[in-house]
Amino acid sequence: MESSENFMAGGALTRRSFLGGAFTAGAAALAPHSVFSAGTDAKRGRILLGACLTGRDAVETMKSIGFDFCEGGVADAVNPFRNGEWWKKRRDELRSLALPVRSLAGFIPGKFRLTGPKADHAPALDYAVKALERASEIGVKYVVLGSGAARNVPGKNPSKEELGKGVLQFTDFCRALAKRMEGVRGVTVLVEPLRARESNIVNTVAEGKKIVDAAGSPRIRLLADIFHMMEGNDGPDGIAAAGRAIKHCHVAECGTRSFPGDNPAAAARLEPYFAALKSIGYGGGVSCECGWRRKNIAKQLETAFKTLKGMI
C-alpha cells in the first residue's frame, strides 16, 4: 500500500505509524532470532503470515498468536538519510525483536522523481542501494517497490503517451536498480501494482509482471497486494497467470482497508485470492498491511491470524 491517507480503522493510526513501528513502548528486550530464519518454511511451501507492525510489544503479541514474521517501513527501519550511529542502534533493536523482519515497504520517498520530464534516477538509486544494504544486515528478504508518489507520472491528466513513457522510465529504474544491487546479499526488490487512486501506472498484477519481465533480473520480482487487486477489479486469475514471479503478498479488507476478519462478509472476498495462491504452490509471506484500532490490538491480531489461517 502506498497511500499516505489515514485509513486506519477508527482513525486511530496512520499508515506511517504501523510501518514505522507502532506500539514501540514497553516490553523488555527479547532473545535475538536468527536474521535469516524466516525463509525456511517458505522453502517447504508453507504460506507464512505476518503483519506490518514492528513495535516490540506488538511483535511479541504476534509471536504468541502464531505469526511467522513482521514487516516494517524503509524510513523507520533502515532510513538511508540517518547516520551510522543511528543505524547501529536501530539495527540492534530490530535484530532483537521476537520475530524476524522479513520484508520492508514504503521504499522510495516521493521527493525522488522516477518518471516524467524531471525524472532523475541517480539520487533515487543511491538512496535505494543504501537502504538495501542496511536491510541485508538485518536479514530482510524483500523490499517492496510501490512508491506511488515517486513513480506517478506528473500532471493532472497525463496523456496516454506520457503514461507509456512513464512505464518505460519506471522499467529503466528497475533495470538499473538490479545492476546496482548485485553486491547486496539476500534481498530482492518486489514491484507492487497499486490501485488507480494511488498510482497512474502499473495498476494490475499483469502490468507488474510486464515490468518484472522487462527488468530481466531475478533480483526484481513481483508482489501481489490483494487489497489493491480487489479495489481495482483485478481478479484472482492475475495471481495464477503471474505464478512464481510473485514472492510476497499484502492483504487488507476491501473498502475499509481494515484487518482480515474485521468484517466477515468482506473477509470472504479474500478466499478466491488465497485459492489462487495455493494453486500456484505459493510458499511466501502474506502481510496484513491494514488498519488496526488502538484498543485490543491482541484481539484484532488474533482475528486476522485465524481468518487467514483458515484460508491457507
How many C-beta atoms lie closer than 10 Å to residue 273's C-beta? Answer: 23
d(CA 247, CA 259): 21
The pLDDT of residue 26 is 30
Give 93-147 as a DSSP string.
Answer: HHHTSSS-EEEEE--S-TTS--SSTT--HHHHHHHHHHHHHHHHHTT--EEEE--
pLDDT at residue number 37: 40
Q: In the prediction, which pLDDT does 273 show?
A: 98
What is the model's pLDDT at position 95? 98
Q: Identify the residue whose cell numbers are 509482471.
A: 209
**pLDDT score for 189:** 98
**Along the chain (312 residues), what's the average pLDDT of each consecutive run of 10 residues?**
37 39 33 39 74 97 98 98 98 98 98 98 98 98 98 96 98 98 97 97 98 97 98 98 98 97 95 97 97 96 98 96
What CATH homologous superfamily does 9-309 map to? Divalent-metal-dependent TIM barrel enzymes (3.20.20.150)
| DSSP structural state of residue 291 | B
Query: Could you state, in order of their start, the residue ranges of all structural domains in the chain?
Result: 9-309
Q: How many CB atoms lie within 10 A of CB 117?
A: 10
- How far is 3 from 100, CA to CA, in rounded Å? 25
205-215 vs 160-180: helix crossing angle, rounded to 10: 50
Helices 297-309 and 56-65, packing angle to 10 deg: 40
Pairing label, strands 285-288, 48-51: parallel
In the three-class reduction of DSSP (H, G, I as helix; E, B as strand; rest coil), residue 50 is classed as strand
Q: Which residue type is seen at 239?
A: I
Q: Rounded to two decimals, what is the model's pTM?
A: 0.88
pLDDT of residue 13: 37
What is the structure's pLDDT at 228?
A: 98
What pLDDT, on a 0 to 100 scale, did the predictor assign at position 12?
Answer: 37
- 9 by Cβ neighbours in 10 Å (0-12 / 13-18 / 19+) ranks as buried
Between the CA of residue 192 and those of 129, 238, 307, what are the distances in Å? 18, 13, 24
The residue assigned the cell 494490475 is 204
186, 195 in Cβ contact below 8 A?
A: no
